[in-house]
Amino acid sequence: MSQIEFQIVSPIDEDQILLIANWYHEEWKIPLDKCLLKVKSVVNDESQIQVLMKVDSIPVATGGIYTHVGLLDVVPRFKEFKHWLGLVYTIPAERQRGYGGLLCQHLESMAKERMMAELYLFSDTAVSLYKRLGWKDLEIVPYGTRTVTVMRLGLLG
């Protein structure tokens, strides 16, 4: 049986920061310098969380809870929502094994421990996964060339 561990990435974890930035760059074609800036800003901000998931000590997935996501620049009215689960990524060789769901559940638990009452996310590729995890649709909106579903998960009460 595989051993799964979750590591909160900190500012001193330079190798992990670079690894995550490279994953984001490769998956979403975001410029590498922008990815590095995003990950570094998150790990240097105690109100945000970046987690690296390892299976048998090998990094396989990442994601986080953020106070700012790109959608807020396009649809400013969503700025009222303070905590966003996002940038959930699993390496291609390890997809379809449930790791994304486990990572999301871990991030949800961390948010609850930090007394965050609710989380939000947006997705166009994993809506069915999030619905299985208990997330509720809020709205469907255009985002660049995509149409994304904005979702909410209540955590407290």
The beta-strand segments (E) located in the chain are 4-8, 49-55, 58-66, 84-90, 118-123, 136-143, 146-154
Instruction: With H, G, I as helix, E, B as strand and everything else as coil, classify residue 15.
Output: helix
**Does residue 112 sit within a domain?**
yes
Q: What pLDDT shows up at residue 114?
A: 96
Residue 69 predicted with pLDDT over 90: yes
Whole-model pTM?
0.95
Q: Are strands 136-143 and 4-8 parallel, antiparallel or unpaired?
A: unpaired
**Does residue 141 sit within a domain?**
no
**Does residue 133 sit within a domain?**
no
Residue pair 39/9 in contact by the 8 Å Cβ criterion:
yes
**Does residue 44 sit within a domain?**
yes
**Does residue 148 sit within a domain?**
no
- pLDDT per residue over 80-108, tens digit each? 999 999 999 999 999 999 999 999 999 99
Residue 157 predicted with pLDDT over 80: no
Q: How many domains does the chain have?
A: 1
Phi/psi for 43 (5° steps) reads -70, -15
**Does residue 153 sit within a domain?**
no
**Does residue 35 sit within a domain?**
yes
**pLDDT band of 156, cuts 50, 70, 90:** confident
Produce one character per residue of 118-139: b if its CB has 16 or more CB atoms within 10 Å, e if not: ebbbbbeebbeebeebebeeee
Residue pair 104/119 in contact by the 8 Å Cβ criterion:
no
Instruction: Residue 9: give its domain's CATH number.
Output: 3.40.630.30
Neighbours of 112 (CB within 10 A): 14
Angle at which helices 32-43 and 14-28 cross, to 10°: 130
93 CB-side CA count, 13 A: 5
**Does residue 11 sit within a domain?**
yes
Q: Which residues 6+ apart lie within 8 Å of 93 measured at CB? A: none
Domain that holds residue 102: 4-116
